[in-house]
Amino acid sequence: MKLHEYQAKALLAGFGVRTLPGEAASTPQEARAAAERLGAELVVVKAQIHAGGRGKGRFVEDVDAGEIAKAAKGEDAAGKGGVRLAWSADEAEAAAAAMLGKTLVTKQTGLEGRQVRTVFVTEGCDIATEFYLSVMLDRSTNRVLFLGSAEGGVDIEETAHDNPDAIFRVEVDSAVGMTDFQARAIGRSLGLTGKTLTKSVGFFRALYEGYMGLDCSMLEINPLVLTKQGELIALDCKMDTDGNALYRHPAVAELRDLHEEEATEIEASEHGLSFIKLDGTIGCMVNGAGLAMATMDIIQFKGASPANFLDVGGGAQQSQVEAAFRIITKDPNVKGILVNIFGGIMKCDVIAQGVIGAVKEVGLQVPLVVRLSGTNADLGKKILAESGLAVIPASNLDEAADKIVAAVQGA
């Protein structure tokens, strides 16, 4: 589950990571009041969306298509972006008014952008140096990986491409925890020396504790800054936490922002379905995550691409199957649907009834290939055959994939 910058910073501060004080605001008046309470000489007003590159973004309402294309490429926004400095409460209010309710396009949002509903009004600082630092799980070593670069503030992908030697890695064994030695290695790699290096040990250890303690799957501090006063501060923060661990963090679960998620994914989770929207043309309804992956693979192998991942689970009810079908057909990119069921606990006749119920409700505008195998497969096939629906039957996955790809590409 992704978090907003202001939420992530508040959580990390609880682990002792140094951040700057600030408040979230959803109206320009609230932003003004927040700036007044902060009482800082400089405040920064930052659009809160689940995407980075805000500083170099543009607002759809303010600029023409050429400028939006520049925003999507990450070209400098010259004061028009989603991160603005304000030297008074008046300016903070104006900056918030210039962002709230508008649609921000950045390198990470795609051209459609994201609506800004909240801004973070936070104390500014005097930046001496900007660094890049991220924390993630390295699946090949099963260790917590700190990836950093002394060349911060810029796009890490660019650094990785143009100057890969500028990126360093420090791995931490979670059974041992982060040692002072490892923390110092990070600090040294960033070019810190003397007292600043010594002080940085506490910062990196706190970051590690936060990453572990919150069950993060990704944590990115870009930039991590060294101020002119010699302090290390997390100036920006992107955090993604493991959705499967949310039961351990009810307070974090409450921070979920449904506005930032795909409407269809929310609807799917309400019905207990695992659904992830993708950008292909073949909608998939499958039982079991492994079979769903195999189905996506074979579609790709046959030269088309899946419109979604969907696992209806082992013991889905007819109503869930109907919901799944509704969700798939809502996507305008879907040019064909492949139902691939291997009945075990799941009974094929339940799937057949669900498909018929859903088609009666939402109609069927695209070719539908159904492969049923296992428990009650014959009954399921019979139900579909007698339904009068234009279902294309298939007897195995290979044939099913051939048929749906042919149907979609012929269309």
Cβ-contact 25, 96 below 8 angstroms: yes
Closest distance of CB 99 from ligand GDP, Å: 12
Minimum CB–partner distance for residue 176 and Mn ion (Å): 30
User: Which residue(s) pair with 137 in the sheet?
Assistant: 144
Binds ligand GDP (CB under 6 A): choice among 54, 271, 347, 381: 54
Strands 143-149 vs 167-172: parallel, antiparallel or unpaired: antiparallel
58 binds, among ligand GDP, Mn ion, none (CB under 5 to 8 A by kind): none
Phi, psi of 353 (to 5 degrees): -60, -40
Name the pairing type of β-strands 336-343 and 43-47. Answer: unpaired
Residues numbered 149 to 188 that lie near ligand GDP (CB under 6 A) are 153
Q: Can you say whether the dihedral through the CA atoms of 37, 43, 45, 50 is positive or negative? A: negative
Q: Which of 5, 151, 220, 322 is catalytic?
A: 220
User: Number of H helices and number of E strands within the chain?
Assistant: 14, 20
- Catalytic annotation on 265? no
Work out whether 134 is an interface residue with Mn ion (CB under 5 A): no
Give yes or no for residue 19 binding Mn ion (CB under 5 A).
no
Nearer to ligand GDP among residue 235 and residue 346 (C-beta): 235
Min. distance of Cβ 47 from ligand GDP in angstroms? Answer: 8
Q: Can you tell me which of 223, 280, 283, 306 binds ligand GDP, judged by CB under 6 A?
A: 223
DSSP assigned state of 191: T
The nearest distance, CB 147 to ligand GDP, in angstroms, is 16
Work out which of 28, 124, 148, 380 binds ligand GDP, going by CB under 6 A.
124
Residue carrying structure tokens 């650094």: 159
Look at strands 43-47 and 119-123 and give their pairing: antiparallel
113 is an interface residue for ligand GDP by CB under 6 A: no
Out of 13, 97, 127, 246, name the contact with ligand GDP by CB under 6 A.
127
Per rule CB under 5 A, is residue 151 in the interface with Mn ion? no
Q: Is 5 in the site for Mn ion (CB under 5 A)?
A: no
154 versus 245: smaller Cβ distance to ligand GDP: 154
CB 11 within 8 A of CB 213: no
- Pick one of Mn ion, ligand GDP, none as the site partner of residue 32 (Cβ within 5 to 8 A by kind): none
Catalytic status, residue 132: yes
From the list 120-128, 185-193, 247-255, 313-321, the region that binds ligand GDP by CB under 6 A is 120-128
Residues 6+ apart with CB under 8 A from 83: 44, 45, 46, 47, 54, 55
| Alpha carbon distance 162, 46 (integer Å) | 29
Pick from 236, 311, 331, 349 the residue near Mn ion by CB under 5 A: 236
Exactly one of 52, 283, 288, 343 binds ligand GDP (CB under 6 A); that residue is 52
Q: Name the token pair of 71.
A: 């925003």
Quote the Cα angle for 285-286-287, to 5°: 140
Q: How far is CA 91 from the centre of its chain?
A: 31
Q: Judge contact between 308 and 277, C-beta under 8 A.
A: yes
Cβ atoms 336, 369 nearer than 8 A: yes
The 3-state DSSP class for residue 378 equals helix
Please give the order of strands across the beta sheet that includes 308-311: 274-277, 308-311, 282-286, 336-343, 368-374, 391-394
44 touches ligand GDP by CB under 6 A? yes
Among 13, 63, 125, 137, binds ligand GDP (CB under 6 A): 125
Is the bond preceding 223 in cis, omega lying within 30 degrees of 0? yes
Examine residue 222 and tell whether it contacts Mn ion (CB under 5 A).
yes
| Minimum gap (Å) between residue 199 Cβ and Mn ion | 23
The listed partner (Mn ion, ligand GDP, none) that binds 153, CB under 5 to 8 Å by sort, is: ligand GDP
Q: Which of residues 226-245 bind ligand GDP (CB under 6 A)?
A: 235-236
Q: Which is nearer to ligand GDP, 60 or 83 (CB)?
A: 83
At 27, is the secondary structure helix, strand, or coil? coil
Could you give the residue numbers annotated as active site?
Answer: 132, 220
Q: Where does this chain bind Mn ion (CB under 5 A)?
A: 222, 236
Q: Where does this chain bind ligand GDP (CB under 6 A)?
A: 44, 46, 52-55, 83, 124-125, 127, 130, 153, 222-223, 235-236
